[in-house]
Amino acid sequence: MTVPVMNPDPPTMETPAQALEKLAADGLLRRLRETTGLDDPRVVRDGRELWNFASNDYLGLASHPAIRAAFHEGLDRFGHGAGASRLITGSQPPHHRFEEGLAEAKGTGAALLFSSGFATAVGVIPALVGKDDFVLLDKLSHACLIDGARLSGATLRVFPHNNLDKLGRLLAGIREKHATARILILTESVFSMDGDLCPLAGLLELKEAHGAHLLLDEAHGFGVLGPTGMGLAEQLGVQDRVDFHMGTLSKATGLSGAYLAGSAEWRDLLVNRARSFIYSTAPPPALAHAASAALDLIRSEGGDTLRQQLRGNIERLAPGHPSPIIPRILGTNEAALGAADDLEAAGFLVPAIRYPTVPRGTARLRISVSARHSAEAIDALAGQLASFP
């Protein structure tokens, strides 16, 4: 038997320390910083109290007493752990009640609760499409949609941000050559780093004209847009034309977890195919119970009042902007990091967002507005922002 001779001088692999040094040199090193929340839109970091303009808690529900009370009630009634996956013994009454309530609110036949938005995307997309199918993805879509599309094995095509002309050409070309292939369009209702909206009406016209399906990620629209807070599709009156409504409970809902709402048949297929659902322990039943309370609040008159307060705060800081996410693009990593440090020194927590979260050369401040911000805090932040280019 011939024994292979090892190369006496094998290539040197990059060590973790070297990788970290390179990230630091490129202005891309991240680190965890302990942050303590207060019972208002302020936090404590490194012993300093800061106005929090970094959170996705758009309605202030993360500290709302009614949601806290519902969580406690859920703990008392259902416990704090599901104990197994939904297909074993983890499918408890609070999970079903939330899914039924969400399906009714969304106008769909059914809904399915997941542990996170990322788990939803990487479970749902590969369950909907496969190697003989196509995924058309907006270039600025969230990483979870990108990863879900890649995991599916479907042919992936990326269209320029909100470019309906390019999307139409892609759809026509695919349908001409692949008459029976499933085509899934992926986009966000509110884009998480730019705060702009997708052209939903045009997307629906194209998907219907070419026999495609649309998955709309309402992560940053849920709770914020629409007469009862169900998102952009509700705001435009087109909920029944969207095939798959995806969203999270970690933004305006103030909790954690995520959902996919659609027809009962698709829901049943996901129960059998979505690996992140099948092979994960169910979300805590107390959390699902609190999620139902949050859903009720969002859809209530009180929820509408919070949305009006949020809209007023957005108008105060950025008149005419369509969402609570307000970017201030500064270009370089150094400029964004320096601006974030300057704002923190002035008493404001505003994160610097860099590649790969946003394209290279578009590093920015990402300002998140809440219904609970005071006019004084918003005006003070606006004064600080006026000093940046």
Tell me, yes or no, if 301 is annotated catalytic.
no
Tell me, yes or no, if 323 is annotated catalytic.
no
Tell me, yes or no, if 220 is annotated catalytic.
yes
Going by C-alpha positions, the residue among 204, 214, 272 that lies closest to residue 244 is: 214
**Distance separating alpha carbons of residues 187 and 206, to the nearest angstrom:** 13
Going by C-alpha positions, the residue among 135, 131, 216 that lies closest to residue 170 is: 135
* Tokens describing residue 221: 């629209």
DSSP string, 73-92: HHHHHH-S---SBIIIII--
Tell me, yes or no, if 251 is annotated catalytic.
yes
Answer whether 249's CB lies under 8 Å from 294's CB.
Answer: yes
Which entry of 57, 133, 138, 188 is annotated as an active-site residue?
188
Tell me, yes or no, if 142 is annotated catalytic.
yes
- Beta bridge partner(s), residue 327: 366
Answer whether 161's CB lies under 8 Å from 203's CB.
Answer: no
Which entry of 56, 280, 333, 370 is annotated as an active-site residue?
56
Which entry of 207, 213, 245, 251 is annotated as an active-site residue?
251
CA dihedral (118, 184, 359, 324) in degrees, to 10, reads -60
Which entry of 64, 95, 106, 142 is annotated as an active-site residue?
142
Residue 383: CB atoms within 10 A of its CB come to 10
Q: Which one-letter amino acid corresponds to residue 262? A: G
Which entry of 192, 280, 292, 333 is annotated as an active-site residue?
192
Tell me, yes or no, if 192 is annotated catalytic.
yes
Which entry of 64, 220, 245, 373 is annotated as an active-site residue?
220
The 10 Å CB-count burial string (b at 16+, else e) for 318-340 is beebebbbbbbbbeebebbbebb
**Distance separating alpha carbons of residues 112 and 261, to the nearest angstrom:** 6
**Distance separating alpha carbons of residues 317 and 376, to the nearest angstrom:** 11
Tell me, yes or no, if 49 is annotated catalytic.
no
Which entry of 217, 218, 234, 243 is annotated as an active-site residue?
217
Q: Which residues are catalytic?
A: 56, 142, 188, 192, 217, 220, 251
